[in-house]
Amino acid sequence: MAFSSILYSPTQFTLPRPHLHRRSRPISIAAAIPPLTSTADISAVAEALDNTTIAVIGGGSVAALAAVLSLADPEKRRQMQAEEVGGGDKEVVREYFNNDGFQRWRRIYGDTDDVNKVQRDIRLGHSKTVENVMKMLLDEGPLSGVTVCDAGCGTGCLSIPLAKEGAVVAASDISAAMVAEAEKEAREELFKGTDSPPAGIVLPKFEVSDLESLNGKYHTVICLDVLIHYPQSKADAMIAHLASLSEDRLILSFAPKTFYYSLLKRVGELFPGPSKATRAYLHSEADVERALNKVGWKIRKRGLTTTQFYFSRVVEAVPA
């Protein structure tokens, strides 16, 4: 998913008043599930939230809601996940995107009609993200011969348009299933039934790799929807690593962190659906900018993509 996205749907919270003689009344808030690339079961969560009413005992304030949320323990659920696959966040993400998550996100990123209205909206939002990033790149001139690292390529939604513009793309993802799908899609799109792509177009080089293991030097490094799997302490190191791979430009996307979105995300974590979800980390733009400044980079452009169920922030950074 997105510079990253927040999926939400209206949920009725009945907040009884302290005075017994006064009738309680429902207060509607937007309930969120983790951002796009958090790998949550979006369809199940959305459907669950659409039909859920939570009785909250206490005052009708945000503080009362936060107190009720504290009764839940999504972290324990994450810990059990990690134990099952024998590792931490990275192993959970790899396991998810090689199995249930791969099937779900392949449908969302693809063109099949086998998606619900929420997934279709996320598809639209993600395609807008790709369009915005491509425009951001092409504003600087043609991409023919430009080397690009697409870190966290998913099913190739960005790698393929880059290749069509003549860029020399190194695409990687932690999921072997995603990489295989991306290469298949790229061959179909670029070769169009022939033995080789048209002149001036190079098939992206696809590789199974996590961000930490990436190396080399590229004109441009792009990392969409991946920082959501990193807490800020690790995100700082990852931003520094990605910047070290780039010679001229670094484009990042992330789920924006505000008090409101953080609260909504916590509500969503109460309803993970039948599938397991990875952790989802939000990041403030100030923290991302600070991490970039620390390694000698500055933000030159900022973007935002939103649809009904999709919310994402993107920044383009260059050496200061």
- pLDDT of the residue at 39: 33
Phi-psi region of 154 (alpha: psi -120 to 50; beta: other; left: phi over 0): left
**Residue-by-residue pLDDT tens, the chain, 320 positions:** 333 333 333 333 333 344 444 444 433 333 333 333 333 333 333 333 333 323 332 334 445 445 444 444 444 544 544 444 344 678 888 988 888 888 888 998 899 899 999 899 889 988 998 999 999 999 999 999 999 999 999 999 999 999 999 999 999 999 999 999 999 999 999 998 888 899 999 999 999 999 999 999 999 999 998 888 888 889 999 999 999 999 999 999 988 875 555 655 565 555 554 444 557 788 999 999 999 999 999 999 999 888 877 778 999 999 99
CA distance 209 to 217: 16
Q: Which of 122, 166, 123, 165 is nearest to 8 (CA)?
A: 122
Per DSSP, which regions of the chain are E strands? 7-15, 25-33, 53-55, 147-151, 168-173, 205-208, 218-223, 246-254, 297-306, 311-319
Q: Which fold has domain 72-319?
A: Rossmann fold (3.40.50)
- Strands 25-33 and 7-15, sheet pairing: antiparallel
- pLDDT the model gives residue 100: 83
- The pLDDT of residue 250 is 98
Confidence (pLDDT) at 105: 85
How high is the pLDDT of residue 299? 98
